Amino acid sequence: MSVELPLWRALAGYRVLTMVYAILLFAFTPQKFERPWVAVVFLTVMSVWTLATLPQVSNAARCTKRFLGADLTIALTGILITPLADVDARHVDGPTLPSIWTAGAVLAFAIKGGWRWAGFASSLVAVANILERAEPSRDTFHNVLLVWVASIAIGYVVEVARASERTLARALEIEAVTRERERMARDIHDGVLQVLAMVQRRGTALGGEAAELGRMAGEQEIALRTLVSRGLVPVTRPGAAEAGETTVTEYVLGGEDYDESAHECDVRSLLARYAGPQVTLSEPGAPVQLPALAAAELTAAVGAALDNVKRHAGADANAWILVEDWTDEVIVTVRDDGPGIPDGRLAQAEGEGRLGVAQSIRGRLRDLGGTAELVSVPGQGTEVELKVPRQR
């Protein structure tokens, strides 16, 4: 049950009770009114309005701005026409025609919109009460201040309650996601990981081509264990494999689609998929947060750099990924121990239309407002430094 529901129920009961109270005030002292018919007309309108609009104060969705405006208008009208029904009301302290029913209109603003809305409504009520008196007394200002402070306090409490409810809902969601992740981890451990481990052992024992299959199975086992431990499962874009791309565009966390346009994610979790026997990942102990799209593009650029290592440095080459988290940027460095790139080879490849480094790496970083620097010395390997600025 929403934390607001009891508040709306209490407001509905308050409006009915204060309506009855205002009617009884008039019924017991009709002789004090010079124009009792004015009081009768207003109290009739107020009563019909109160009973007819009970559904409007049942929840926040039904309590629209139009209703709040009309409700406050009736309350203000009742205050201002009180001297028409009771001439002495301008000079003698006493209740107005709506009496404390007016506070219900202000409370509706507080529950609906918080303390700012409550301050706006109570200020209008304060002005109306002061105008209704020819010479406002100390009691008048006291009552006005009491309504103003009480309504703002209630509005603030409502805002805090809503924030607490959102926090609790998020905590429950995270708990559910964590349980689902643990369940998936158990299922994967009992099935896929054990099969991969068996393939690795059998392939190594058989040798030959089976040994290569075993090595690949071992790499995938390590990568999958890392992903399971972090609760992140990659989903590649349809058609990416056919196009030779490595871009990861969606991430599923505990069975929920990760919205890359509206969230940030931990770069470490995305790069963990590349860690393996020949790829060492070094990262900070704290999360390295980037907007999801930027993190995905950076991860794809790292994947392209590793693809170049396998393609040009050989299957036995080792690679190292270093993640650095700075205040204004994130730096990821990919280094290998391959033979390096001969001078002029990159320019020649780009001239021949092979744009792997130009597009898959530099192009991605350029679109993010970052840079990609490649340093290679023949015989001493290659180093690619990727920099992504943080959004300000």
In three-state form (DSSP H/G/I as H, E/B as E, the rest C), the secondary structure along 255-319 is: CEECCCCCCEEEHHHHHHHHCECCEEEECCCCCCEEEHHHHHHHHHHHHHHHHHHHHHHCCCCCE
C-alpha to C-alpha distance for 249 and 246, rounded to whole angstroms? 9
C-alpha to C-alpha distance for 318 and 337, rounded to whole angstroms? 6
Residue type at position 197: A
Structure confidence at residue 191 (pLDDT): 64
- Which residue in 369, 377, 284, 373 sits closest to 336, CA to CA? 377
Structure confidence at residue 14 (pLDDT): 92
Q: Which long-range contacts (CB under 8 A, 24 or more apart) does 289-292 make?
A: 289/264, 289/265, 290/264, 290/265, 290/330, 290/388, 290/390, 291/260, 291/263, 291/264, 291/391, 292/251, 292/258, 292/259, 292/260, 292/261, 292/262, 292/263, 292/264, 292/265
Structure confidence at residue 187 (pLDDT): 58
Tally of CB atoms within 10 A around 101: 26
C-alpha to C-alpha distance for 94 and 88, rounded to whole angstroms? 9
Structure confidence at residue 260 (pLDDT): 43
Residue type at position 305: A
Structure confidence at residue 193 (pLDDT): 66
Q: Please name the residues in contact with 310: beta carbons below 8 A apart, sequence gap of 6 or more.
A: 317
Q: What is the mean pLDDT of each run of 10 residues along the chain (392 residues)?
A: 80 93 89 88 94 89 91 92 82 80 91 90 89 74 81 87 84 78 60 73 80 79 64 45 40 42 77 88 90 88 86 84 93 90 60 48 86 84 91 62
Q: Does pTM surpass 0.75?
A: no
* Three-state DSSP string of 108-122: HHHHHHCHHHHHHHH
Q: Which residues pair with 290 in a beta bridge?
A: 265
Structure confidence at residue 188 (pLDDT): 58
Structure confidence at residue 201 (pLDDT): 80
- Which residue in 278, 269, 388 sits closest to 333, CA to CA? 388
Q: Is residue 63 helix, strand or coil?
A: coil
Structure confidence at residue 226 (pLDDT): 63
Q: Is residue 353 helix, strand or coil?
A: coil
Structure confidence at residue 249 (pLDDT): 37
Q: Is 1 exposed, middle or buried (0-12, 13-18, 19+ CB in 10 A)?
A: exposed
What ranges in the chain are assigned the alpha helix state H?
Answer: 5-28, 36-52, 65-80, 82-85, 101-113, 115-132, 138-188, 194-206, 209-230, 240-243, 267-271, 292-308, 345-351, 364-367
Q: Is residue 61 helix, strand or coil?
A: coil
Structure confidence at residue 246 (pLDDT): 40
Tally of CB atoms within 10 A around 221: 20
Q: Please name the residues in contact with 2: beta carbons below 8 A apart, sequence gap of 6 or more.
A: 165
For 332, list phi and psi in degrees, rounded to 5: -125, 125
For 34, list phi and psi in degrees, rounded to 5: -70, -30
Structure confidence at residue 333 (pLDDT): 95
Structure confidence at residue 354 (pLDDT): 43
Q: What is the DSSP string of 15-35?
A: HHHHHHHHHHHHHH-GGG-SS
